Amino acid sequence: MQFYEAVDKRYSCRDYLDKPVEGDKLERIMEAARQAPSAANRQEWRFVIVEDASKRARLTEIAHGQKFVGQAPIVIAACAVSDGHLMSCGQPSYPIDVAIALEHVALAATAEGLGTCWIGAFEEEPVKRLLEIPAEVRVVQLMPLGYPADKPRPRTRLPLDEIVMRESWGG
């Protein structure tokens, strides 16, 4: 699959087949995450791959009952080990870097014929307890991963002329 095709086909999958993800596909997807850029090459991201059905069921509860979270054969807990580094623009680097790596995951998964969904609706502390994540590590996002059972819904996006400005705000 070509890059722009993966960008076009990627969507928030909310229904997964009861079919395991092959190990070689998961390896390629996680390699795509590893290759993501990060501020000052800090590579603060860490990923907990959850395949155990009982843990995925518990993650469904922690994610406010979103059933598809545990329905997927894999849930990735995207975490950050961070010393609080701020980029010179004043933004903390870890949430941005984890997001870049996760979008690499989402696009690689799409290229492999798999679906993903960004999950920010969850309680961090219960995830940490369930997955034995140290207190100082942040859980930034959860991402179910698996073969889609649904079809992409039409998505609306603002036109380019509403989101792209040239040379100045409003330009």
In tens, the pLDDT along 103-119 reads 999 999 999 999 999 99
Amino acid at residue number 127: V
User: What residues have CB less than 8 Å from 24, skipping those under 6 apart?
Assistant: none
> What's the CA dihedral at 87, 94, 13, 7 to 10 degrees?
40
Cα gap 129→133, rounded to integer Å: 7
Q: Is 23 part of any domain?
A: yes
Total tally of structural domains belonging to the chain: 1
Q: Is 160 part of any domain?
A: no
Amino acid at residue number 137: V
Do 92 and 100 meet the contact criterion of CB atoms below 8 Å apart? no
The neighbour count for residue 119, using CB atoms within 10 Å, is 22
**Helix ranges (DSSP H) in the chain:** 3-9, 23-34, 53-62, 67-71, 93-111, 124-131, 160-163
Give the range of the structural domain holding residue 78, as residue numbers without chain letter: 3-152
Using one digit for the tens of pLDDT, what is the confidence trace for 123-147? 999 999 999 999 999 999 999 999 9
Q: Is 36 part of any domain?
A: yes
Enter the DSSP assignment of 112.
T
Using one digit for the tens of pLDDT, what is the confidence trace for 51-103? 999 999 999 999 999 999 999 999 999 999 998 999 999 999 999 999 999 99
Do 152 and 69 meet the contact criterion of CB atoms below 8 Å apart? no
Would you state the pLDDT for residue 97?
Answer: 97
Would you state the pLDDT for residue 154?
Answer: 85
The CATH number linked to 18 is 3.40.109.10
171: pLDDT strictly greater than 80: no
pLDDT band, very low/low/confident/very high, at 150 (cuts 50, 70, 90):
very high
Radius of gyration of the chain (CA): 17
Return mean pLDDT, the chain. 96
pTM, entire model: 0.96
Q: Is 69 part of any domain?
A: yes
pLDDT band, very low/low/confident/very high, at 155 (cuts 50, 70, 90):
confident
